[in-house]
Chains A and B, each alone.
Chain A
Amino acid sequence: MGRYVARRLLQMIPVVIGTTLIIYTLVWSLPGDPFAGRCGARPCPPAYVAAMTDKYNLDDFWLVAYFKYLGNLLTGDFGETFQGLSVGEELLRAYPTTAKLALVAIAFEILIGIGAGILAGLRRGSYIDNLVLVSTLVVVSIPVFVIGSVLQLFLGMRWGIFPATVGGDASLYNLILPGFVLASLSLAYVARLTRTSLAENRRADYVRTAVAKGLPQRRVIGVHTMRNSLIPVVTFIGADFGALLGGAIVTEGIFNVPGVGNLIFRSITARDGVMVTGAVTVLVLVFLLVNLLVDLIYGWLDPRISHG
């Protein structure tokens, strides 16, 4: 187990170097003058250009500049934006909000997604099964920005049940609506996955054995069937959590959530290369770590998978 984790961590090194190299190169090789519009309506004074060129190593060969950047990264220095803001601090401010939003979304996926999937899977062909199938199909077919805007309009503004935007106060209560919207697509997949997996496992031989052992029905389903059925579901939710921690540009945009997605979007439009590179580097790291965690959980859920 320890060796497996160590190997996986070592494998991350080339992945992180590769992704940061690609992003760094792309961001700094965008056409156009990096100083355009930085100093209001006038061109930037030569002293400013010289200082910034030196600060971001713009005169160096791009690969050299990249390695200088990487060297700083290794010491934990994410650099500063053109405005002189610390990228590290900005990320630290935005990340908790995104993490909270992701947790709210995952909670919806678990509660509603798995719940609906279980109800449907236990009674295939019933009214509730058809309801789940049709409603998930509808959710899957509608783009997130439509669901987000419609729910914001009705639940948030017309009926005022939930706060319509989040703004500066990213409390859990304020995140309910964006969390639900963010979860909607995965929630539909989770419901369907749970349903199929459960229905499949109910016919399994070991379930018949459990019945033959004289176990009560709720134990046959709750312990023997459920445990096996949830293996693929947990894996899916885990991977989704990793993706959600990367921020949600559309949902955060609709509900004005000050998270990582918003930060990256603003930085891209402002051509703030340092911020984009730093943020994406963190996202890559988080995604890799969550994936490792998911694989470890998978091995724990299904003993047939060994991490020897």
Chain B
Amino acid sequence: MATTQAGIARRPDEAGLTPLLEVEDLRVEFRTRDGVAKAVNGVSYTLHEGETLAVLGESGSGKSVTAQAIMGILDSPPGFVTGGSVRFRGQDLLALPDDERRAYRGRSISMIFQDALSALNPVFPVGWQIAEMFRVHEGMSKKDARKRAVDLMEQVRIPAARERVGDYPHQFSGGMRQRIMIAMAIALDPDVLIADEPTTALDVTVQAQIMQLLADLQRERNMGLILITHDLGVVADVADKIEVMYSGRIMEEAPVHDIYASPAHPYTKGLLESIPRVDLKGQELSAIKGLPPNLTNIPAGCEFRPRCPYAREICKEQRPPLAEVVPGRFSACHFAQEVLEGDIEPAQQ
């Protein structure tokens, strides 16, 4: 049985800093009527202060589930964390009782979601929903909390914040609603902000504004930012480090610019090749063939093998662990070195 933990021990402790957040060998499964779906299978990553970590992967790769497990907002049942740890400044959050864990939510780690319209409560004014953070966590008076809510709405650049503090979510545009989500999430000055596909539901122009806002807030507050997305274009400018997830496991980890220049995993390579490019206009867009594996029945060997153009005999039998290819770069592929150097031919089939 191949393991995935091996890679962690070999990671350098970057600059000797204590990481803000360490996820180690996290495992989550969903126990459903149709069987046990292993959504997260030994995911490890670390996040430092002021760092932006992009978690990339297609639907069902386990990227959002990992984030929910970190936050402790997994729908349970059917979702269960079956192993691993989530350490915030050294404290394992998974080992804490519910009420102690709650104190970290919103205050130390907070989260924004993809669809702000459904993520905001439709029957309360937005200002009230932001102010609730101060009222519940800090016991602030209604009036003071409302004042802080207006401040926050101004910080996330909502025009006429003072007039709009009493409006309801449905009275705002999509981009403004996401700003309100962000205001709520940063209200208590958290150390870690998890953004789960924050721009997926938005227009392209608004996407850029929201990404810019997140990047600015992150810089001003020196937050650790985990950016979950399936859009490679979104992360290029803001992320420091990328984790590519597939089938509940990390396939590749690398600094952002390296990964764009030269992927070290066939899956990442496939993703990059499937981005439409102006200079390839008129040519057929390449796509990764096939579908992600069924999480209730993940095949033996490498999870990506059935879709991998370079798959060899060994890929059927052994699951490649996440291992360092060159300093600072990790890949879970038997032929990582060859893929990185472009020194491998597609398998003859």
Q: Which residues of A contact B (CB under 8 A)?
A: 203-206, 208-217, 219, 224, 227-228, 231, 301-304
Contact = CB atoms under 8 A, between A and B. Distances in A.
Interface string B101-140: 0111111001101010011111110000000110011000
A227 B168 CA distance: 15
A215 B132 contact: yes
Contacts of A203: 75
Given A213-B106, A214-B136, A304-B168, A208 B184 contact: no
Interface of B: 71, 73, 75, 98-99, 102-107, 110-111, 113, 115, 118-124, 132-133, 136-137, 168, 170, 181, 184
B115 A205 contact: yes
Nearest to B110: A212
11 contacts: A208-B113, A209-B113, A209-B121, A212-B71, A213-B106, A214-B103, A214-B137, A215-B106, A216-B99, A228-B122, A301-B123
A219 B104 CA distance: 17
Contact of A206 (B71, B110, B118, B168): B118
B326 to A, nearest CB: 38
Given A206-B120, A208-B73, A211-B105, A304 B170 contact: yes
B122 A211 contact: no
The dominant DSSP class at the A interface is: helix
Contacts of B107: 214
Contact of B119 (A205, A301, A303, A304): A205
Given A203-B75, A213-B132, A216-B136, A208 B119 contact: yes
Nearest 8 pairs of A and B residues by beta carbon = A214-B106, A214-B105, A205-B118, A206-B121, A303-B168, A213-B106, A205-B119, A209-B119
Contacts of B124: 227
A227 B128 CA distance: 14
B231 to A, nearest CB: 21
Given A212-B71, A213-B105, A214-B107, A303 B122 contact: yes
Contacts of A204: 118
A302 B122 contact: yes
B119 A214 contact: no
A89 to B, nearest CB: 45
Contact of B113 (A205, A224, A302): A205
Given A216-B136, A302-B122, 9 more contacts: A206-B118, A209-B121, A212-B71, A212-B110, A212-B111, A213-B136, A219-B136, A303-B168, A303-B170
